[in-house]
Amino acid sequence: MREFKIDFNKTLKFALIAYAVIFLAGTITAIFGGVNLDINFTGGTRASYSYTGEIKQADFEKIVKDTVKKEFSLSNSTSLAGDTKTFDIALADKEALGAETQEALTKALQEKFKDNKIELYSSNSVSPTMAGTFFLKSMVAIIITAVLVVVYVSIRFRKIGGVSAALTALVALVFDVLITFFTCVLFRLQIDLNFIAVVLTMLGYSLNDTIVIYDRIRENERLNPDMEIGSLVNLSVNKVLIRNIVTSVTTFLAVMTIVVVSEIYGLTSLRTFAIPMAFGLVSGGISSVFVSGPLWVIWKRFKASKAK
């Protein structure tokens, strides 16, 4: 198997510049374009209407606008089997859809599209209090996961400086989480329950790649106790690079299949999971190789210079 001879300590700055550009673009987009949060995080109402045949979204939107008279977002989706087509209406809490308005909307839609068998498919309302509680619990889950990552890596790799290894791995994980967030922002995807699932999945996936690298560093340090830390990390990362690339590409292709299916069938729920997941996988592969190891080298060199 081919073995690379890349100096990852020299490529760190290019990786950081690339991340900085993406973070800056995402931040600017979030400031001027806003962040599309699901009602589970903000509170509000979501109503879905099923129908048969074909209905132009513009025609459906006009009826909703004339009846609801409030700001809303509208999306169109089809079930994977293709037997159920729906229009999904979402309103923020301050614009919540009352029962009377919803009844009037259903009647107006059925009168306008008599041949399309329009029915209220589902309706869900979330209060601001419940939304705030859910958001807090989601953040707690992510923080607990991050703490467990630090503890686990610190214990497992204590022979090569467990705490330093854990903290640099955590930095790479933070980069991955930010990439998934800014992917949602840049692609104007709704940040919903799927986002939390993606973040927690990415924490585990990216950490796995980093652990493989740390395992090889630990092994090579035992075999080459006098090797300089930068050379040791380069040797270790180059030896597992092919493995990491193959794993990342294989998983990425699987997720991209989900992206294609979600785009073809208009499956919004899959789309908000698959697209940030795909970019998160790419970031996880890059951060594990180009960020965590080189940052750990900088830390170790700094500690060595302070000890002199």
Q: Residue 308: its pLDDT value, please?
A: 63
Mean pLDDT for the chain overall: 86
pLDDT-derived band at 278, boundaries 50, 70, 90: very high
Percent of the chain residues past pLDDT 90, beyond the cut: 29
Span 8-33+130-307 CATH architecture: Up-down Bundle (1.20)
- Who has greater pLDDT, 83 or 264? 264
Q: Cα(262)–Cα(271) distance, rounded to whole angstroms? A: 5
Poorest-pLDDT segment among 114-118, 155-159, 183-187, 278-282: 155-159
List, by residue range, all CATH 1.20.1640.10 domains of the chain.
Answer: 8-33+130-307
Q: Which CATH superfamily is domain 44-126 in?
A: ACT domain (3.30.70.260)
d(CA 284, CA 179): 9
Average pLDDT over residues 132-147: 86
pLDDT tens-digit series, residues 69-87: 888 888 887 766 666 788 8
- Average pLDDT value for residue range 97-123: 87
Q: How many CA atoms lie within 13 A of 278 on its CB side?
A: 18
Q: What is the pLDDT of residue 303?
A: 83
CATH 3.30.70.260-classified regions of the chain: 44-126
Chain length of the chain: 308
Least confident piece of the model among 100-104, 183-187, 252-256, 281-285: 100-104
**Model pTM score:** 0.83
pLDDT at 77: 78
Q: Report the pLDDT value the prediction gives residue 150, as an integer from 0 to 100.
A: 83
Burial pattern 122-145, b for ≥16 Cβ within 10 A else e, equals eeebbeeeebeebeeebeeeeeee
Mean pLDDT, range 210-226, rounded to an integer: 88
- Write the pLDDT tens digit of every residue in 8-28: 888 999 999 999 999 999 999
> How far is it, in rounded angstroms, from Cα 219 to Cα 74?
55
Question: What residue spans of the chain are helical by DSSP H?
Answer: 8-33, 39-42, 57-68, 99-112, 128-156, 162-186, 193-223, 229-265, 268-287, 293-307
158-216 pLDDT tens trace: 887 778 888 898 999 999 999 999 999 999 898 888 999 999 888 888 888 888 888 99
